[in-house]
Chain A
Amino acid sequence: MTVSALKPHKEPAPGMVEQRGLGLWFTHAVMIFGVLIIFFPIWLAFVASTVTQPEIVSPPMPLWPSDQFIPNYKKALFSGVNVPVATMLVNSLIMAIGIAVGKIVISLLSAFAIVYFRFPGKKMFFWLIFITLMLPVEVRIVPTYEIVAGFGMLNSYGGLIFPLIASATATFLFRQFFMTVPDELAEAARVDGARPMRFFWDILFPMSRTNIAALFVILFIYGWNQYLWPLLITTDPEMNTIVMGIKQMFPSGDDVADWPVIMATSILAMIPPVIVVISMQKLFIRGLVDSEK
């Protein structure tokens, strides 16, 4: 089922105001103005990544791209400041995908347990998971660091990913979705001879795919944008992720910052989340609005 609001339609949906003439121009003008305001800093960053260092530091700042695009990006990608940006991109990608996939797998399984099984302390476990919503990374960061350090996972992908993959939000979301799946479906599968895990794989998992896609997009961006945690546990520049890596590129003391390379890195850091959002846009929107029955 697609959503009617997404289809082009000749008549405005009830509740929407029909825009004609001046009103139409006005709303478009406001929208374009808004987009320009949001887009301008990104444009500046892009311009800064295509010029030379002296051009940036001498006011006024250039507003149009220059010819240093290829050298700047080449330098950023393959040598960087501390470590090549390509390495940081790979690190970020592994971390973001690891967090997104890990969160989805764990949440799916725990929601499955909470909705479909009767076990002692079921309610308590649900509330325990739910309470962790109140404990974001920042609050529990010291004990978590202690544990990760104890396991010797500093400067490793495991250390970057595991502490962040428990997710009350995703568990709650899947729980809500599973509760809308009619009980008869589980019963029909039982009569058909499906054991619980089989039911999970064959029925529940495919039915949740739009929700999974929507969550993947959100969680990928969440993972990609992690700053504090990677900053804390990766001391080896080889393990830096790009979001924290940008900060590491600022020189301490009186050294001169290599602004064109830093700006090129910023632009590069934006690309993967944009690709994920655009490529999964359709599924993403369907997952948010449609429960696929």
Chain B
Amino acid sequence: MATVELNNVKKRFGSVEVIHGVSTTIKDGEFIVIVGPSGCGKSTLLRMVAGLESVSEGEISIGGKTVNDLEPMDRDIAMVFQNYALYPHMSVRENMGYGLKIAKIPKAEIEEKVNAAAKLLQLDEYLDRRPRDLSGGQRQRVAMGRAIVREPSVFLFDEPLSNLDAKLRVQMRLEIRDLQNRLGITALYVTHDQVEAMTMADRMIVMNAGRVEQIGTPLEVYETPQTLFAAQFIGSPSMNVFETTIQNNILSIGDITVPVNTEAKGKVAAGMRPEHVIVDDNGPLSITVQMGEPLGANTLLHGRLDGTSDAFTISLPGVHHTVAGQVIRFAVDPRHMHLFDIKSGGRI
């Protein structure tokens, strides 16, 4: 158990800077999810914490000790890889005990720890099998087991669930979260899946193009996204954004006006989540439906916001039978209106 501190961490490959200075402090026992689109540098950041990539600039410390120049094994971390990275010629037992064997821990003790971890992960029956004889979910558990037996102070997960099918992913998500809770080990978890980020994180770090967009609890990021990117990346379906002008607390879209409470003036980007739309036959805004997507619990209606050329999605609870061309009028609660600076993308 330990805190992890990143202080203005940068990474350069040759002359190309891919991570432009990340700073954050991760509390003891916290579950942090780093989320972002592919190529945003999230895996690189994790690998720097693991010690698999060198740090070009800045400082990483684990448990108060600067680890920039330490080998992965000396950082007191354990890592779970996307493709599990199990040793194919070793049994599950040997896979899990390999790190301990290298650390020259007595055989009896290794046996004991492996058995305990196997029990925790319900792998007891499979201890003598080879990884290739296991299913994806079981391999994932073995990879977790390998991390657990070492009793590290930090767990690092690099998209551990992306090779599993959707149903198993939901189950493993809960298992990982539950396990981390019980063991109380600080965890850093990288994913591109915003649902994983929302459901698992104590706090999440939203990254884009090597920069941190926002750090906060899932609900903070959802309710008050600090940047346009964070607003659109978190939440499914993603937030509707359209350009408008604001003058004297009046937001105008074409010749429609909506009162808002803001200090912003001039051109801004306004954002509205599909699920925050209030259907109201007398509402000021409307969309012309182009396509409906019934999901069962709710229905997504895709169309264009009337008065603009921007795509707009509405999420309505329950089943709705809508046909293309239908006009849906709605109102907006000003509290659920997000305004962003058009140039910087920052929240206003």
Q: Decide if A192 touches B73 in the complex (CB within 8 Å).
A: yes
B86 contact set on A, CB distance < 8 A: 188
A202 touches B85 (CB 8 A): no
Cα A101 to Cα B146 with chains together (Å): 35
Q: Which residues of B contact A206 (CB under 8 A)?
A: 89
Q: How far is the CA of A117 from the CA of B110 in the complex (A)?
A: 31
Interface pair A188/B103, CB less than 8 Å apart: no
Interface residue A292 (Cβ < 8 Å from any Cβ of B): yes
Do residues B102 and A198 form an inter-chain contact, with CB atoms below 8 A? yes
By a CB distance below 8 angstroms, the chain A residues around B252 are: none
Task: Find chain A residues with CB under 8 A from B99 CB.
Answer: 191-193
Distance A200 CA – B52 CA, assembled complex (angstroms): 18
A203 at the interface (CB under 8 A from B): yes
Q: Which residues of B contact A292 (CB under 8 A)?
A: 88-89
The answer to whether A185 touches B103, judged by C-beta atoms less than 8 angstroms apart, is: no
Interface size class of B (residues with CB under 8 A): 20 to 34
Residues of B within 8 A of A7 (CB): none
> How far is B163's CA from A182's CA once the two chains are assembled, in angstroms?
15
Chain B residues touching A, majority SS: loop
- The one of B71, B85, B89, B132 that contacts A188, using a Cβ cutoff of 8 Å: B85
Q: What's the least CB distance linking B34 to chain A, in Å?
A: 18
Q: Among A184, A187, A193, A292, which residue has the most Cβ atoms of chain B within 10 A?
A: A193
User: Please, which residues of chain B bring their CB within 8 A of the CB of A187?
Assistant: 50, 52, 72, 79, 81, 85
Known: A192-B98, A193-B102, A193-B103. A184 touches B81 (CB 8 A): yes
| Cβ distance A138 to chain B, nearest Cβ, rounded Å | 40
A1 near B132 (CB under 8 angstroms)?
yes
Pick the most buried of A1, A189, A198, A292: most chain B CB atoms within 10 A of its CB. A189
Residue of B72, B79, B85 most packed against chain A (CB within 10 A): B85
Write out the residue numbers on chain A whose beta carbons fall within 8 Å of the beta carbon of B87: 185, 188-189, 202-203
B83 in the interface, Cβ–Cβ < 8 Å? yes
Chain A residues near B246 (CB-CB < 8 A): none
Distance of A193 Cα from B51 Cα, bound (Å): 12
A191 B77 Cβ-Cβ under 8 A? yes
Interface of A is mostly: helix
CB neighbours of A193 from chain B (8 A): 72-73, 99, 102-103
Choose among A188, A198, A207 the residue that contacts B81 (Cβ–Cβ < 8 A): A188
The CA of A1 and the CA of B88, in the complex, are separated in Å by: 12
Known A-B contacts A191-B78, A193-B99; the reply to A207 vs B88 at CB < 8 A is: yes
Closest-by-CB residue of A relative to B143 is A188
The smallest beta-carbon distance between A63 and chain B, in angstroms, is 52
8 A Cβ contacts from A245-293 to B: 292-293
**Minimum CB distance partner of A181 in chain B:** B88
Q: Does A28 interact with chain B (Cβ within 8 Å)?
A: no
User: Could you say which residues of chain A place their CB within 8 Å of the CB of B146?
Assistant: 188, 192
Q: How far is the CB of B162 from chain A (nearest CB, A)?
A: 13
A193 shortest CB reach to chain B, Å: 3
A194-B102 in contact (CB<8A)? yes
A190 touches B81 (CB 8 A): no
Smallest Cβ distance from A130 to chain B, in angstroms? Answer: 27
Q: Within residues 159 to 187 of chain A, which ones have a CB less than 8 A from any CB in chain B? A: 182, 184-185, 187
Give the residues from 84 to 125 in chain B that come closer than 8 angstroms, CB to CB, to chain A.
85-89, 98-99, 102-103
Query: Is B322 at the interface (CB under 8 A from chain A)?
Result: no
Given contacts A184-B83, A191-B72, A193-B103, whether A202 and B98 have CB atoms under 8 Å apart is yes
B98 contacts A190, CB within 8 Å? no
A203–B99 Cα distance when bound, in Å, is 13
Contacts of B98 in A (CB 8 A): 189, 192, 194, 202
Within 8 A of B (CB), among A62-78: none
Tell me which of A185, A187, A191 has the highest count of chain B C-beta atoms within 10 A of its own C-beta. A191
- Chain A residues within an 8 Å CB radius of B132: 1, 293
Which among A185, A194, A207 is the interface contact of B85 at CB below 8 angstroms?
A: A185
Q: Which 10 residue pairs of A and B lie closest in terms of their CB atoms, listed nearest first?
A: A193-B73, A184-B85, A192-B99, A188-B85, A193-B102, A184-B81, A206-B89, A191-B72, A191-B79, A190-B72
Query: Other CB < 8 Å A-B pairs besides A187-B81, A188-B146, A190-B73, 7 of them?
Result: A187-B79, A188-B87, A191-B50, A191-B73, A192-B102, A192-B146, A193-B102
Residue ranges of B at the interface with A (Cβ–Cβ < 8 Å)? 50-52, 71-73, 77-79, 81-83, 85-89, 98-99, 102-103, 132, 146, 150
List 15 A–B pairs whose Cβ atoms lie within 8 Å, in order of A's numbering: A184-B85, A187-B50, A187-B52, A188-B87, A188-B146, A190-B71, A192-B99, A192-B102, A193-B103, A194-B102, A203-B87, A203-B89, A206-B89, A292-B88, A292-B89
